[in-house]
Amino acid sequence: MIKEWVVKIKPEVTKIEELQNQLNIHPILCALLIQRGIKNIEDAKSFFRPELDRLHDPFLMRDMDKAVERLTQAIFEEEKILIYGDYDVDGTTSVALAYNFLKDFSPNIFTYIPDRYTEGYGVSRKGIDWALDHDIKLLITLDCGIRATENIKVAADGGIDVIICDHHLPGEELPAAVAILDPKQNDCSYPYNELSGCGIGYKLLEGFSIQNGIDQNKLLGLLDLVAVSIASDIVPVTGENRLLAWFGLKKLNNSPLPGFAALIEKAGMNVPLTISDVVFGIGPRINAAGRIGHAKTALDLMTQSTKEEAYVYAEKLNVENQERKNYDENITIAALELIKTEGQEHKCSTVLFKKDWHKGVIGIVASRCIEQYYKPTIIMTESNGMITGSARSVQGFDVYLALERCSDHLIQFGGHKYAAGLTMEPDRINDFKVAFEEAVSELIEESQKKPTVNIDTEIDLQDIDFKMFGILKQMGPFGPMNMQPVFCSRNVFLKKDPRVLKEKHLKLFISQAGCANNFDVIGFGLGHFHDQLDAPFDIVYTIEENHYKGNTTLQLMLKDIRV
């Protein structure tokens, strides 16, 4: 699939020179910093030297005073408290954070995570009934609840006070909770509104600690949970999230919670871990619990007091993750074949259904299909007599808006611009396919039909050295809104014959005219370029360290090639 290369506009030369005079670093690095909003030495100090005292006062968040007061009352009066979170990484880390912190102040802390298949996302009626049956007096919802008006009302009518900690957009009607912590709600003056669900939970516990004179180090000891949530929930790594992620990764790499230590060991991961390592190594294993079995396994892992106790849960997550991979691979193969069989290659959208596909991986399969056929995609399966689907979108296209146009065919749907879930009656599948294709064809723009590679700047290979890379590393942790710098180099050439690894990955050894250095290059999934590299070619890549037999070298990680 041919990708469009989009090179960012280079900052003005005068601004680059001005910053270079202040920082005394390479102008390429100055340009990268300016692109990230760093314009002077004071900005640079804040960016490169994170400090926890730059975290915002939690009491700036609307309802924080009410939430802290009600939580404090529940602790001192020894009321039963239920911590309720969703079954994904953000939800389970949130529950683990609150439980690990509060259990030392009360013996009456309980947890609840809904079953993906029998209860679905968010605050379920079954969960509320459980709380009522167990005489819960305070319910704290994490990473969910902002739209659960009906079930929150049932809880309130039953005598349960509710504190909602959520980071999703509120609906027109707010739930009947004693406190709602969500920076995205109206009239909330909190300075940062991109916290993860676990991040909102952290602010509640921070406020509780301040109010009750509790040493902040106790809460800081749980920051690796917040970092894992930030990485896995793909929230912007800017502002307060970047601070929490920076210190959370430091905790994860130096003194992780016993559960994370066991999982890192069982997964064969090497420290130091980056945000990317969390996204592709830790996150999928935690998510596998809710996809294949029940997310309580992940919660149990993250709440163990010793690594030895956590091993059994880490091993189970590894097994479930491998099972998830098998479902993922097999269903993806079947889905790609079905696209051809049904003649959907040239449509504006992809909508596929097979009743025996595993519900826990259909969202992943939708993303895999987009890698091959770049278009808004919905993968559907049968669950409890209904058709359930998972939608994924392409850059810039609002799949939620497209679903709104098809809502007559749906029982329910929810999500956001790039991902959504839906449910319909079995007899509506064909009509929905037609309606969704019509909606996408009307809404999608030409620029959204081709994948793009965003490039920060063009450089020569001779610009790359360890000094440059050392500063690049300090620009992390990387993630949305602070992505790892992507470079382009023109007219590079082979120094050795190219190799294909595992039948699909490309291994190169390259240089460039006027450059004394040669670089190893790895291109995952780019093996098809193997026979096209006789003449000089252009590459897009990121720069990584490679550690091998005690030696450290710099290698280039390919994103695309243009012959």
Tens-digit pLDDT profile for residues 413-455: 887 888 888 999 999 999 999 999 999 999 999 999 999 999 9
Number of other CB atoms surrounding residue 21 within 10 Å: 10
For position 38, what pLDDT does the model report? 95
pLDDT digits (tens, 9 = 90+) for 26-55: 999 999 999 999 999 999 999 999 999 999
3-state secondary structure of 305: coil
* Dihedral Cα 123, 358, 299, 199, nearest 10 deg: -60
Q: In what order do the strands lie in the sheet with 377-383?
A: 350-353, 377-383, 386-392, 419-424, 412-415
**Which tokens in the block code for residue 205?**
């516990």
Q: Give CA separation, 252 vs 248, 258, 271, 371, 394, in Å.
A: 6, 10, 9, 31, 32
Task: Give the C-alpha separation, 446 to 444, whole Å.
Answer: 7
> What are residue 141's phi and psi, to 5 degrees?
-95, 135
For position 517, what pLDDT does the model report? 87
**Which sign does the torsion angle of CA 442, 446, 452, 455 carry?**
negative
- What's the mean pLDDT in 478-505? 94
Task: Give the C-alpha separation, 52 to 39, whole Å.
Answer: 22
For position 561, what pLDDT does the model report? 96
DSSP codes, 67-111: HHHHHHHHHHTT--EEEEE-SSHHHHHHHHHHHHHHTTT-S-EEE
Task: Give the C-alpha separation, 60 to 63, whole Å.
Answer: 9
- Is the pTM higher than 0.75? The answer reads yes
For position 514, what pLDDT does the model report? 87
3-state secondary structure of 516: coil
CA angle (400 as vertex; 441, 186 as ends), nearest 5:
140
pLDDT digits (tens, 9 = 90+) for 213-231: 999 999 999 999 999 999 9
Task: Give the C-alpha separation, 473 to 250, whole Å.
Answer: 14
Residue 1 has pLDDT above 80, yes or no: no
Quick one: DSSP state of residue 531? G
pLDDT digits (tens, 9 = 90+) for 445-473: 999 999 999 999 999 999 999 999 999 99
Q: How confident is the model at residue 285 (pLDDT cuts 50, 70, 90)?
A: very high
For position 350, what pLDDT does the model report? 97
3-state secondary structure of 502: coil
For position 120, what pLDDT does the model report? 83
Residue 547 has pLDDT above 90, yes or no: no
> What are the b/e assignments for 153-166, b being 16+ CB within 10 Å?
ebbbeeebbbbbbb
Task: Give the C-alpha separation, 205 to 95, whole Å.
Answer: 12
Residue 234 has pLDDT above 90, yes or no: no
- What's the mean pLDDT in 293-320? 97
Rounded percentage of the chain residues whose pLDDT exceeds 70: 100
H-type alpha helices, 278-388 = 283-292, 296-302, 307-341, 362-372
**Which tokens in the block code for residue 439?**
């909606």
Name the residue among 527, 533, 471, 522 with its Cα closest to residue 503: 527
Quick one: DSSP state of residue 482? B
Q: Number of C-alpha atoms within 13 angstroms, CB side, residue 471?
A: 17
Q: Give CA separation, 137 vs 24, 129, 145, 196, 532, in Å.
A: 59, 13, 17, 26, 67
Task: Using DSSP bridges, classify how beta strands 551-562 and 537-548 pair: parallel, antiparallel or unpaired.
Answer: antiparallel
**Which tokens in the block code for residue 229?**
């949530």
For position 335, what pLDDT does the model report? 97
- What's the mean pLDDT in 83-87? 96
| 414 beta partners | 421
Q: pLDDT averaged over the chain? A: 95
**Which tokens in the block code for residue 326?**
């098998």
**Which tokens in the block code for residue 418?**
């790039």
Task: Give the C-alpha separation, 556 to 367, whole Å.
Answer: 25
3-state secondary structure of 114: coil
Task: Give the C-alpha separation, 227 to 225, whole Å.
Answer: 5
* Dihedral Cα 189, 192, 193, 197, nearest 10 deg: -120
Residue 357 has pLDDT above 90, yes or no: yes
Task: Report the greatest alpha carbon distance in the chain.
Answer: 76
Bond prior to 477 in cis (omega within 30° of 0): yes
Q: How confident is the model at residue 384 (pLDDT cuts 50, 70, 90)?
A: confident
With contact defined as beta carbons under 8 Å apart, do 70 and 98 qualify?
no
CA angle (400 as vertex; 398, 406 as ends), nearest 5:
115
For position 11, what pLDDT does the model report? 96
Task: Using DSSP bridges, classify how beta strands 109-112 and 81-85 pair: parallel, antiparallel or unpaired.
Answer: parallel
